[in-house]
Structure 1
Amino acid sequence: MMMIVPESNAGHAGEIIEELQNVAAERNLKMIVRGHYIPKGDPERPRGEDAFFILEEEQTIGVADGVGGWSVHGIDAGDYARELMKNAMKAIETEPKGLVDPKSVLNKAFLSTKSQGSSTASIVTLKNNMLHGVNVGDSRLRLFRKNSLFYESPIQQHKFNKPYQLGNHESSDKPNIADEYQVSVKDGDIVVMGSDGLWDNLYPNEIVKTLWQNSLGGMLDIQGLATFIAKLAFNKSKQTDIATPFSVAAQEAGYASTGGKVDDITVFVAYIDFV
């Protein structure tokens, strides 16, 4: 935007510009969030083992990924993930308006969850123009700015394909080991967050390409983006002769692996804009 200052006011131009910059800095940013979920297609567990929520009014999102290994004991870890996320939403209702503390929410949800099984968990809120996140396991958030990867949240694994996981079993992890992170955002930023079913099958540069292609028309369809990215990850998970983040990591860990990883896929896309 170009501002023309009349000659008689030229001496005040610096003050006017500074005032405009201060006003802009005080404006709050918000997330416009949409999500898409694709279960991996187990007929015995049609809901899959991921669970998620979007509370746009509270500017908070969360995802939990039930650990499928419990199925050998006849336990559907999706029950644990769903109860954990339900309890997280209840905990958010007790948080001060606009001051959601993801670590506190996760701890309250964990203490209230009684199902068998275990799951990863990630909760993110936007407040004071910063993303505040807490994570246990291998779900991940990536922040894209001007069609480039700007930030990626840390993940936690005991070893390859064995993420940290919350649960009631004595060997399960507890919320105190969760990673916490903060990252400032700007208007126009795009956040893509999801369970490992997303990030095991797609590289960040594939997300960048998708964002670029979908921004050519000047308008972003947030729901369309979430759906497209989820389907892209799902299609790659079915391929057996390509390199994926999962297959490369498996090879580095000493396993013979090619192709995608069939898994439940949860995707959030959030566009950062002024209130």
Structure 2
Amino acid sequence: MLQHVHRLCYHIRPKTPFLRHQLTKIFSIQQQRYYYSAAAISQQQEKSRSNLNIIDFFDPDLITTTPHNYTLKCGVSGYAKAGKVVDIPLDEGIYTSVQVGDDAYFVRTDSLGVSDGVGGWRSHSGANPALYSRKLMHYAQLELDRIKTNVRPHHIPQQVPNPVEILENAYHLTTLDAQNEGIVGSTTACIVVLFQDELRVANLGDCGISVIRRNNYIFRSEEQQHSFNFPYQLGTASFDSPMDAQQFTIKVEEGDILILASDGLFDNLYDDEIMEEVQNCIEQGNEQKKGSTEEQSTTIIPIQEISDALAFRAKIVSEDPDNPTSPFQVRAMHEGLYYQGGKADDISVVVAVINRDEKPGPSPPPLP
């Protein structure tokens, strides 16, 4: 504005003193208005700065909250199918996994795994689905050990276990053993890895995992079937691969209950029956807590008791041909097949509770 008034005075060049005086006066007034306006803006900006919180001076993207670290506290129960004869290796010490009939599992404070050997192979010569599933879980646990012990310098990000990659490496080693030892068989599998507040799952076939929070299901995996009673599987004559596994990432909280099991549980008990057993065990545990002299403000979650109760109830149903209904019976009826009672099968149940671990750790990178 000042420049425009100054240019006007220069170009007009009034000849009379009166006009020169009026233009000079206008220029002076506009100049004062400019200075007053600039001073007011400066004061307003200074006032705004004084009212800012200290956090406003930083980029909000640089201010992050490190997620809590969690660990798993586990309880395990299982029953082999009634009357099943399973070949158990002479040297039990060579496998880190545990065998239950044709099922196998492993438990760690940061990961879980369960597999279900396909019993249909038993009519073939050289078949050993129990050993096949056990080897798969054994090598999966060894792969996790390798990742955890591979300590890198602080400036290099630590490797975060990916359950699909773990399953793939374990399957590769199991396949080599099967070829060298002449083992025939196949298995379904579910591997769960806990990293900070993320639960990462790879599920192939009809094993499954449920997550319960405050008496509600927040997650329940679905089985993968080519057709009725023909699940996805890894092994002899199967075209399925670890990359076909379902992948899930679940945000967990302290106190969440995980139920990882073979289909021997989920084929015989409905979700509401599983929840009923969980709630009954928790109620009984808290009744015992009330009777004790030691006061505890937290809810007791009897992990082993829950696992025992679920496995035992599934076993009762699986051996009862007159049981009124079961999930397996309902699915068979939907396929037009007559079926009554539960499904006789191996049963493996792993129950785990999320516990807080105060040890800090890096933020989890996304899965590829």
Task: Indicate the TM-score class for this superposition, using the shorter chain for normalisation.
Answer: 0.7 to 0.9
SS, match of residue 142 in structure 1 = strand
The answer to whether the 8 Å contact 1:51/1:81 transfers is yes
Give the corresponding residue for 1:86: 138
The answer to whether the 8 Å contact 2:325/2:340 transfers is yes
1:106 aligns with 2:158: no
Report the Cα offset of residue 221 of structure 1: 1.5
Give the corresponding residue for 2:33: none
Report the Cα offset of residue 43 of structure 1: 4.2
The answer to whether the 8 Å contact 2:84/2:101 transfers is no
Identity of aligned residues (%): 35
Give the corresponding residue for 1:134: 202
Report the Cα offset of residue 72 of structure 1: 1.1
Give the one of 121, 124, 128 matched to 1:73: 124
Give the corresponding residue for 1:173: 240
Give the corresponding residue for 2:13: none
Q: CA 1:91–1:219 in 2, change beyond 3 Å: closer, same or farther?
A: same
The answer to whether the 8 Å contact 1:41/1:48 transfers is no
| Structure whose CA Rg is larger | 2
Q: How does 1:196-235 map to 2 (within 5 A)?
A: 196-216=263-283, 217=286, 218-235=299-316
Q: Deviations over 1:55-107 (max 9, x none)?
A: 22xx1110110001101113121111011111111111222468221111100
Give the corresponding residue for 2:343: 261
Report the Cα offset of residue 168 of structure 1: 3.5
Report the Cα offset of residue 23 of structure 1: 11
Distance 2:277 2:83 in 1: 28
Give the corresponding residue for 1:252: 334
Distance 2:66 2:317 in 1: 42
Report the Cα offset of residue 35 of structure 1: 1.1
Distance 2:243 2:335 in 1: 28
Q: Deviations over 1:17-51 (max 9, x none)?
A: xxxxx999743222211211211123422751001
The answer to whether the 8 Å contact 1:251/1:257 transfers is yes
Distance 2:242 2:113 in 1: 15
The answer to whether the 8 Å contact 2:117/2:186 transfers is yes
Moved segments of 4+, more than 4 Å: 22-25
Report the Cα offset of residue 211 of structure 1: 1.6
Report the Cα offset of residue 128 of structure 1: 2.4
SS, match of residue 144 in structure 2 = helix
CA RMSD of aligned residues (A): 2.0
How many residues are treated as equivalent by the alignment?
252
1:272 aligns with 2:313: no
TM-score (norm. length: structure 1) = 0.86
Distance 1:183 1:161 in 2: 28
Give the corresponding residue for 1:7: none
Unaligned runs of 5+ in 1: 1-21
Give the corresponding residue for 2:83: 42
Q: CA 1:24–1:30 in 2, change beyond 3 Å: closer, same or farther?
A: farther
Give the corresponding residue for 1:144: 212
Give the one of 71, 94, 115 matched to 1:64: 115
1:28 aligns with 2:69: yes
Distance 2:70 2:143 in 1: 23
Give the one of 224, 230, 238 matched to 2:319: 238
SS, match of residue 133 in structure 2 = helix
Higher strand share: 1
Q: CA 1:132–1:268 in 2, change beyond 3 Å: closer, same or farther?
A: same
Distance 1:168 1:89 in 2: 22
Unaligned runs of 5+ in 2: 1-62, 88-99, 150-158, 287-298, 358-368
SS, match of residue 94 in structure 1 = helix
Distance 1:165 1:61 in 2: 19
Amino acid across the alignment from 2:279: W
Q: CA 1:43–1:162 in 2, change beyond 3 Å: closer, same or farther?
A: closer
Distance 1:78 1:101 in 2: 25
Q: CA 1:231–1:261 in 2, change beyond 3 Å: closer, same or farther?
A: same
